[in-house]
Structure 1
Amino acid sequence: MSQKTAPAWVVPVMRAGYSSRAAVYAIVGGLALTAAIHGGRAEGTTNALADLKSQPFGLWALWLIAIGLFAYALWRFIAAGYDLERRGDDGSGLFQRGGLIVTGIIHAGLGVSVAGLAMGDSGGGSAAQDWTARILQMQNGKWIAAALGAIVVGSGIYYMHKGWSKKYKRHIRVTPTTQKLDPALQAGFLAQGALIAIIGALIISAAMTTSPENAGGIGKALDQLRSAPYGRVLLGVVALGLIGFALENLVEAIYRIVPARAGSDVETLAMRAKAKAKKEAAKAS
């Protein structure tokens, strides 16, 4: 089902969601960069946010992040249901809208975790390990877990492709700021995609060895990088990429458009790049 014009309240909900994502990845990326420079272990999302609670105004920050993550999940659900990003009703469009629902569910779950931290949970343990252990106890659980891991790897590859091909430009308004920050935005998508692919590979490894402790989220993926040859360098590069991804989410919070509301007269980065390529092709001919 498509809606011709998105309601006005959708826009602030979207912006709150992207702002919270920016905060989460800035914290995780900053702690990972600190670990790369000074040594120590990089923190995953939940543990990194648990550290925030002990800071001044940390409890309020956790609640704001949790509310923002719920807002992001709501935005994804609405965007998928009403096709506010104009993905279409064909097979490809429905697949992309299904992806919006999946990311909405993931961020709703993260919002629950952050709200739990605010209410006193310790933040220990790994959700990926817990879910992998439950799946492995099911009939044919090994293959179900492996299939889910493959889907996660595919999601990581999609993020890297989105960064490499610069498809993220489709919904970002042209401004001097967004044009200058484009390299950082691209690096952010590439780093996020690489981490997601590593998480998927860890889930597949856990499935094939029937060892749920081999699975893990962002923290485990960062640990894998840290233990590799030149691990601190790799960790530092990915940490900078995560900070770039935080910056990308901040840019989306400020400059992202909702196609079902913005209208056709708003120029996006993708439209500017296409016009530039067309002009250069005309000159060459």
Structure 2
Amino acid sequence: MNDRTSRKLGWAIPVMRVGYGGRGLVYLAVAGASLYSLWRGGQAQDTGEALDWLNGSWGGGVLLFLILLGMLAYAVWRVLDAVFDLEDYGTDAKGITARLGMIFTGAAHLAIGITAFSLLFAGSDGEEGSSIPRHVGMVMAWPFGRWLVALAAVVIVGAGGHYLRQGWRNEYRKHLQANRFTTRWNMILKAGVMAQGAVIAIVGLLFAFAAWRVDPSQAGGVGEAFSWLAGQSHGRILVIAICLGLGGFAVFCFVNAAYRIVPKVAEPDLRSLADLVR
């Protein structure tokens, strides 16, 4: 990409910042609603339940509107990033896989935006419980549908592993500017990235269970991942730890909104947190 094209795409940076800000609000809502529910003796909340809880709280409508804008911006950003390779992932197999993953991530967050829109303007998302098992059941009814669900499980577990590796090996630091804030808050950022990876990996395992047992009801999203964790030894402690971690991931998203480096449109002398550590 030449300098002229980079200058033309400079407007993508504000879109990226709005997108990551909205993403941070979503995870803050999930973590906050879940911890509040657990404190009152209930269960951790999935994304839809957290947004519904937010809609019924004081000032929640404003936050839902900000989330809606953020999810639209994040979806646009992911498409721009994938098409123009703004973060310089390259055109080899690994780079193409990463760029395709951006489009799927953008689509997933667009779905969250649609949920926020329905809550704002219809008062309900029109769904009782998670719609994932229903959609998985539809796919399983297709020829080779069971294997498509199994493939989805592999992809989702791989995405979770990607976040876990990024957190464990501090790979996320190469995308963040080096400054006092990112240096001092690094442990919270690390915990947040790894908590996000753990949740995604568990969702992938639930899809794998659904494919193995040919039972769509085994599949699920964040809420079902929390339920699965709660059923393990010391489950409540694990759920609380993951909720706190997702709060850390919300901080990670806000930090990205402020300090993320986009190589192909960034200032050439900008120093990353990874560079500072080295």
Q: Choose the corresponding residue for 2:27, options 18, 25, 28.
A: 25
Question: Distance in 1 between the 2:262 and 2:239 partners?
Answer: 35
Q: Give the match for residue 91 of structure 1.
A: 93
Deviation at 1:56, TM superposition (A): 2.3
Q: Give the match for residue 165 of structure 2.
A: 161
Q: Give the match for residue 148 of structure 1.
A: 152
Q: 1:6 to 1:131 in 2, by over 3 A?
A: farther
Question: Distance in 1 between the 2:42 and 2:58 partners?
Answer: 24
Output aligned runs, 1:1-285, within 5 Å: 3-5=5-7, 7-120=9-122, 121-122=124-125, 123-274=127-278
Structure 1 stretch displaced more, 186-195 or 27-36: 27-36
Question: Distance in 2 between the 1:80 and 1:43 partners?
Answer: 31
Deviation at 1:69, TM superposition (A): 0.5
Deviation at 1:41, TM superposition (A): 0.9
TM-score normalised according to structure 1 size = 0.91
Structure 1 stretch displaced more, 109-118 or 172-181: 109-118
Deviation at 1:231, TM superposition (A): 1.2
Q: Deviations over 1:86-117 (max 9, x none)?
A: 11222222222112112111111221122122
Q: Deviations over 1:30-58 (max 9, x none)?
A: 22223444421111001110111112232
Q: Percent identity?
A: 37
Question: Distance in 2 between the 1:124 and 1:175 partners?
Answer: 45
Query: Which amino acid is the alignment partner of residue 89 of structure 1?
Result: T
Q: 1:4 to 1:90 in 2, by over 3 A?
A: farther
Q: Give the match for residue 283 of structure 1.
A: none
Structure 1 stretch displaced more, 256-265 or 19-28: 256-265
Question: Distance in 2 between the 1:34 and 1:225 partners?
Answer: 18
Deviation at 1:180, TM superposition (A): 0.6
Query: Which amino acid is the alignment partner of residue 274 of structure 2?
Result: A
* CA RMSD in angstroms, aligned pairs only: 1.6
Whether the 8 Å CA contact 2:33–2:53 is kept in 1: the answer is: no
Q: Deviations over 1:116-161 (max 9, x none)?
A: 2222224533132222111111112111111111211111111101
What SS class does the counterpart of residue 67 from structure 1 fall into?
helix
Whether the 8 Å CA contact 1:6–1:261 is kept in 2: the answer is: no
Q: Give the match for residue 280 of structure 1.
A: none
What SS class does the counterpart of residue 73 from structure 2 fall into?
helix
Question: Distance in 1 between the 2:141 and 2:94 partners?
Answer: 34
Question: Distance in 2 between the 1:184 and 1:96 partners?
Answer: 25
TM-score normalised according to structure 2 size = 0.93
Number of residue pairs aligned between Structure 1 and Structure 2: 274
What SS class does the counterpart of residue 174 from structure 1 fall into?
coil
Whether the 8 Å CA contact 1:36–1:235 is kept in 2: the answer is: no
